[in-house]
Structure 1
Amino acid sequence: MYEVRLAKTADVPAMLAIYRPYVEETTISFEYDAPTAEQFMARMMKLMAKYPVFVYERGGEVCGYAYAAPAFERVAYAWSVDLSVYVRKDLRGQGMGRALERAVSVFLRALGYRKVYALVSEGNDASLAFHEAVGYRRVAFFPEQGYKRGRWLGVLWLEKELNGAACAENFPRTMGELLPDELYTLLCEANA
């Protein structure tokens, strides 16, 4: 039995355990050093206050997580977010990433976001195939944007449209602005 649910602070250590190998062993993350437990907790708490942060739980164990974060800093970009999805390396390819992406997208759409971006490092063909399979399209490639593990890496930007241009009538809402009934309905839709 599995559940895709909103992340809690108690999940953050398991989330960091999933993230750490992506930093230390791959070029998927452009961080050189994994954040400390305190740094990662602060990072996730800041995101949870405003954006959807989900975990994929199976048998009481957190197997993956996904979240939205601001894509850019300037106010005019308020309708755009960046998606991150991380699944425990030994469990990839089982549909967990797809379920997590769906949950985040359901909530982002309801909150009033227009576009969600995914940044995929050069050579990460599995991530590229995943994002294209869930509706993202390629919009730009920037060569030699990051240097990690002894080589320069390009970054492919992909985007997915969530809402039309009319969503600009209001700024996107935060997670805290969702009403209890609305939250319940969205959680049901995210797990459908």
Structure 2
Amino acid sequence: MDITIRSAVPDDAEALLAIYAPYVSDTAITFELEPPSLDEFRRRIEAIGARYPYLVAEAGGEPVGYAYVGEFHAREAYACSVETAIYLRRDQRGKGVGRRLYQDLEVACAARGITNLYACIAYVEPEDEYLTQASVRFHERMGYRLVGRFNKCARKFDRWYDMVYMEKFVAAHEG
């Protein structure tokens, strides 16, 4: 399968929301409880894309996944650090789409002077029907390392979930 990576545009909102909404409704991968409206999702793409890389993976001209980074912390000293997000159409998992998106995202971040990427990942032990540890394993394969864990910090589907932070440096810390 030929994958093309490009920057997201607001007109991608409908296709990307179709990818994201099942993660909200059916999983604990995101702690958002209700899928956003199409207008809200379009605003998110515009706001994030104005400041940070927001990438779309296409196969056959159709979006099959997306990844972006956003503000890690509002204070200026954190400008070199961002939080990552990635969502794939379910039939695209395990096909290298996520790896391609993240590789391109890392290059785009380093080119903008961003050094630290942080993945904030929902976590549960043992795995349940709403959440596996696949995201942690994916990030480990991508070179991220575990740097923190918040226990029982989110509640979804009448269950408590943890959150882990994983970190990757994509550029040298100079000066």
TM-score in terms of structure 1 length: 0.84
Partner of 2:80: 79
Partner of 1:131: 139
2:146 is matched by which residue type in structure 1? R
CA displacement, residues 97-139 of structure 1 (integer Å, 9 cap, x when unaligned): 1110111100001100110000111133110010010110000
CA distance in 2, matches of 1:57, 1:98: 14
Q: Which runs of 5+ in 2 are unaligned?
A: 125-131
1:1-192 matches, cutoff 5 A: 1-123=2-124, 124-166=132-174
Shift of the alpha carbon at 1:74? 1.2
CA distance in 2, matches of 1:93, 1:30: 23
SS at match of 2:136: helix
Shift of the alpha carbon at 1:147? 0.5
CA distance in 2, matches of 1:113, 1:59: 31
1:82 is matched by which residue type in structure 2? E
Shift of the alpha carbon at 1:60? 1.2
CA distance in 1, matches of 2:169, 2:28: 27
CA distance in 1, matches of 2:36, 2:77: 30
SS at match of 1:62: strand
SS at match of 2:82: strand
SS at match of 2:64: strand
Aligned residues: 167
What is the RMSD of the two structures over their aligned residues, measured on CA atoms? 1.0
CA distance in 2, matches of 1:42, 1:147: 26
CA distance in 2, matches of 1:45, 1:70: 14
1:64 is matched by which residue type in structure 2? G
Work out the percentage of aligned pairs sharing the same amino acid.
39
CA distance in 1, matches of 2:123, 2:139: 14
TM-score in terms of structure 2 length: 0.92
Shift of the alpha carbon at 1:76? 1.3
CA distance in 2, matches of 1:4, 1:164: 25
Contact residue 8 and residue 45 of structure 2 kept, 8 A: no
SS at match of 2:32: coil
> Which structure is higher in helix share?
1
CA displacement, residues 67-98 of structure 1 (integer Å, 9 cap, x when unaligned): 01001111111111000010001221111011
SS at match of 2:108: helix
CA distance in 1, matches of 2:3, 2:114: 27
Partner of 1:172: none
